[in-house]
């Protein structure tokens, strides 16, 4: 064959082969998940959700913030006098302020300040001696009002229960992030082992091509010496063509698996990678022991527990809102009235003139359909979470039972598959010796080589499937280091 033909053939064959493993990135499963976790937008969105829940908790803390306000203004009121002694106008300038604070125990304290100047205007016909005096007049009033709830609102249940619910929602949001990591890990396991299987299948296909070439080379020699007919050489060529087609298909399958795994990590699809499998041996225990471990470790149970606690807090808050309102209110204040602005202002900070009051306020709602509807909704929410817990328990038990059965059966099947491969190799080698001695046919050799390849492929698939099941079991138990951050 001319050198340029050999070069062209090498280029064509090379286009079907994967990138050189010397340039490929060695990739353990931990590396896959670490890269995917750092780049996945769903995880980034979940982290934002956690921050949003924390912000909602801060908003609840605002219920205890001190609130203040102030106003300043003037007014000019003019009206027709009802008699000759009534004022026809009232000019007022005022300044007021308010400060209020709610305490964690449910009580509240409010302070108000009012300072104003009022001047009455009389008709010109009104005698001066019967007009109000002094005029203008300055008034200063300061009040402190303390409200203490005796029934609904005592110990500030709205604040406490909302705070408890918000804290549990933050926990649930944090555990949902871990749940998402689990889901991504489950996808990653499937993609990673599919890539391993396609990579090993390619190596197996290459071995098949080598065997077929060896057989064809042997057949050509025998044909030259007239020991076999042309048809037997053609059978070997057909076998080689089949194995080469399988190799090209294996290259394509590996390329697709590599692209899928790279895109899972948000990398360029064509980036060459080389899988490096590290065995994971999940602890061997009974199904009940496995479930107890999963219940302790899996974030889904922690999410449901946090959701249940949050729903209980909201139900307690709803029950509290159905109570009647009974408040004890105490008030003390100063009063100052003077014709001098400074004197009135200063006297407002003394108790020379004062106001003191103590009262009890009661309020309630007939039937209170709103509160009862809220209570019913929260009771149903708790019931729904209980149903989700029962469903999750059964799903996890089923998953654990299936994986455990898969591993038990897989170990036995892999052992039998290896024995079959050894037997097929011995059979093929023995048949090759018989063929070299002229006591067998090309058809038999071709059939035996096919049997050997099928046995090797079954053993390969079984081995990869068993490794994948081990990873799945570790994930289901909550003991996969790449997800849960600890060594087994």
Alpha-carbon span 438 to 427, nearest angstrom? 16
Q: What is the pLDDT of residues 32-45, one digit of tens each?
A: 999 999 999 998 89
| pLDDT of 16 higher than 70 | no
Q: What is the pLDDT of residues 73-121, one digit of tens each?
A: 998 888 776 666 778 788 899 999 999 998 888 889 999 999 999 988 8
Confidence of residue 423 (pLDDT cuts 50, 70, 90): very high
Within a 13 Å sphere around the CA of 125, how many CA atoms are in the beta-carbon half?
6
Q: What is the pLDDT of residues 141-182, one digit of tens each?
A: 999 999 998 887 777 888 888 889 999 999 999 999 999 999
Whole-angstrom CA distances from 49 to 5, 53, 182 are 62, 6, 17
**Helix (H, G, I), strand (E, B), or coil: what is residue 255?**
helix
- Helix residue ranges, H only, 348-441: 369-436
| pLDDT of 10 higher than 80 | no
**Helix (H, G, I), strand (E, B), or coil: what is residue 145?**
strand
Whole-angstrom CA distances from 18 to 105, 132, 456 are 71, 106, 22
Predicted pLDDT at 9: 40
- Which DSSP letter does residue 367 get? S
Alpha-carbon span 81 to 28, nearest angstrom? 96
Alpha-carbon span 286 to 392, nearest angstrom? 19
Lowest mean per-residue pLDDT among 338-342, 352-356, 386-390: 338-342
- Which DSSP letter does residue 265 get? T
For residue 330, the surrounding DSSP H or E stretch is: strand 325-338
Alpha-carbon span 229 to 213, nearest angstrom? 18
Q: What is the pLDDT of residues 187-243, one digit of tens each?
A: 999 999 999 989 888 988 898 898 888 888 888 887 888 777 888 888 888 989 998
My answer on whether omega of the bond before 134 falls inside 30° of 0, hence cis, is: yes
| pLDDT of 485 higher than 70 | no
Predicted pLDDT at 261: 94
Strand order in the sheet with 354-363: 67-78, 89-102, 108-121, 137-149, 325-338, 354-363
Predicted pLDDT at 282: 65
Alpha-carbon span 99 to 112, nearest angstrom? 6
For residue 71, the surrounding DSSP H or E stretch is: strand 67-78
Chain centre distance of CA 82: 74
Predicted pLDDT at 362: 87
- Which DSSP letter does residue 156 get? -
| pLDDT of 14 higher than 50 | no
Whole-angstrom CA distances from 409 to 413, 418, 438, 456 are 6, 14, 42, 18
85-119: b (≥16 Cβ within 10 Å) or e = eebbeeebbeeeeeebebeeebbbbbbbbbbbbbb
Residue with the larger pLDDT of the pair 174 and 366: 174
| pLDDT of 19 higher than 70 | no
For residue 332, the surrounding DSSP H or E stretch is: strand 325-338
Identify whether the C-beta of residue 254 lies closer than 8 Å to the C-beta of residue 274.
no
Burial of 31 (0-12, 13-18, 19+ CB in 10 A): middle
Predicted pLDDT at 155: 77
The winner for highest mean pLDDT among 18-27, 243-252, 427-436 is 243-252
Residue with the larger pLDDT of the pair 395 and 283: 395
| pLDDT of 458 higher than 90 | no
Predicted pLDDT at 369: 80
**Helix (H, G, I), strand (E, B), or coil: what is residue 112?**
strand
The C-alpha torsion from 473 through 474 and 479 to 482, rounded to 10°, is: -140
Mean of the per-residue pLDDT values for the chain?
85
What percent of the chain is modeled with pLDDT above 70?
A: 93
Listed residue (422, 423, 425, 412) closest to 462, CA to CA: 412
Identify whether the C-beta of residue 397 lies closer than 8 Å to the C-beta of residue 301.
no
| pLDDT of 273 higher than 50 | yes
What pTM was estimated for this model as a whole? 0.75
Identify whether the C-beta of residue 29 lies closer than 8 Å to the C-beta of residue 278.
yes
What percent of the chain is modeled with pLDDT above 90?
A: 36
Predicted pLDDT at 283: 66
Whole-angstrom CA distances from 78 to 31, 128, 333, 342, 358 are 83, 19, 31, 27, 38
Whole-angstrom CA distances from 174 to 41, 178, 302, 312 are 16, 7, 10, 19
Q: What is the pLDDT of residues 312-343, one digit of tens each?
A: 998 888 888 777 888 899 999 999 888 888 88
| pLDDT of 278 higher than 70 | yes
CB atoms closer than 10 angstroms to residue 209: 18
| pLDDT of 18 higher than 60 | no
One DSSP character per residue, 210-221 reads: HHHHHHHHHHHH
Listed residue (129, 132, 124, 134) closest to 84, CA to CA: 124
Alpha-carbon span 70 to 58, nearest angstrom? 26
Confidence of residue 21 (pLDDT cuts 50, 70, 90): very low
| pLDDT of 53 higher than 80 | yes
Chain centre distance of CA 178: 6
Q: What is the pLDDT of residues 286-298, one digit of tens each?
A: 888 999 999 999 9
Domains in the chain: ranges and CATH: 24-55+162-309+380-484 (1.20.1600.10), 73-102+107-152+325-363 (no CATH)
Alpha-carbon span 327 to 460, nearest angstrom? 78
**Helix (H, G, I), strand (E, B), or coil: what is residue 27?**
strand
Confidence of residue 436 (pLDDT cuts 50, 70, 90): confident
């Amino acid at each position: 064959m001319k050198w340029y033909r050999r070069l062209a053939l090498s280029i064509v064959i090379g286009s079907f082969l994967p990138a050189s493993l010397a340039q490929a990135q060695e990739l353990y499963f931990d590396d896959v998940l670490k890269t995917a976790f750092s780049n996945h937008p769903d995880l980034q969105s979940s982290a934002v959700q956690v921050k949003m829940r924390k912000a909602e908790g801060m908003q609840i803390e605002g219920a205890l913030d001190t609130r203040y306000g102030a106003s300043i203004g003037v007014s000019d009121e003019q009206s027709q006098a009802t008699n000759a002694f009534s004022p026809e106008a009232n000019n007022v300038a005022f300044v007021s302020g308010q400060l209020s604070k709610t305490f964690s125990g449910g009580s509240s304290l409010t302070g108000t300040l009012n300072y104003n100047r009022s001047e009455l205007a009389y008709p010109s016909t009104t005698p001066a001696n019967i007009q109000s005096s002094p005029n203008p007049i300055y008034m200063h009033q300061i009040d402190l009002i303390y409200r203490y709830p005796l029934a609904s609102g005592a110990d500030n249940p709205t604040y406490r229960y909302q705070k408890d619910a918000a804290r549990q929602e933050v926990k649930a949001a944090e555990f949902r992030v871990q749940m998402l990591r689990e889901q991504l890990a489950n996808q990653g396991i499937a993609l990673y082992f599919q890539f391993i299987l396609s990579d090993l299948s390619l190596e197996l296909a290459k071995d098949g091509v080598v065997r077929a070439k060896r057989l064809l080379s042997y057949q050509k020699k025998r044909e030259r010496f007239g020991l076999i007919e042309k048809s037997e050489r053609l059978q070997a060529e057909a076998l080689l063509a089949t194995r080469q087609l399988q190799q090209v298909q294996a290259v394509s399958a590996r390329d697709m698996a590599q692209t899928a795994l790279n895109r899972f990590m948000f990398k360029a699809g064509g980036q060459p990678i080389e899988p490096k499998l590290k065995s994971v041996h999940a602890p061997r225990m009974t199904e009940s022991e496995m479930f107890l471990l999963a219940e302790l470790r899996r974030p889904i149970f922690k999410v449901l527990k946090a959701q249940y606690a949050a729903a209980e807090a909201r139900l307690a808050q709803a029950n509290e809102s159905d109570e009647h309102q009974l408040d004890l209110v105490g008030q003390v204040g100063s009063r100052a009235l003077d014709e001098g602005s400074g004197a009135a202002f200063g006297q407002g900070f003394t108790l020379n003139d004062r106001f003191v009051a103590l009262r009890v306020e009661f309020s309630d709602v007939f039937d209170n359909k709103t509160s009862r509807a809220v209570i019913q909704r929260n009771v149903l929410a708790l019931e729904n979470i209980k149903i989700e817990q029962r469903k999750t328990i059964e799903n996890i038990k089923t998953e654990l039972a299936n994986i455990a059965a898969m591993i038990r059966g897989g170990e036995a099947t892999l052992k039998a598959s290896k024995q079959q491969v050894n037997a097929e190799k011995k059979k093929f080698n023995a048949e090759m010796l018989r063929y070299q001695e002229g006591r067998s046919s090309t058809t038999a050799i071709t059939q035996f080589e096919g049997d050997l390849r099928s046995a090797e492929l079954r053993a390969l698939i079984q081995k990869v499937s068993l490794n994948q099941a081990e990873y799945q079991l570790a994930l289901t138990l909550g003991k996969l280091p790449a997800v849960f951050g600890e060594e087994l």
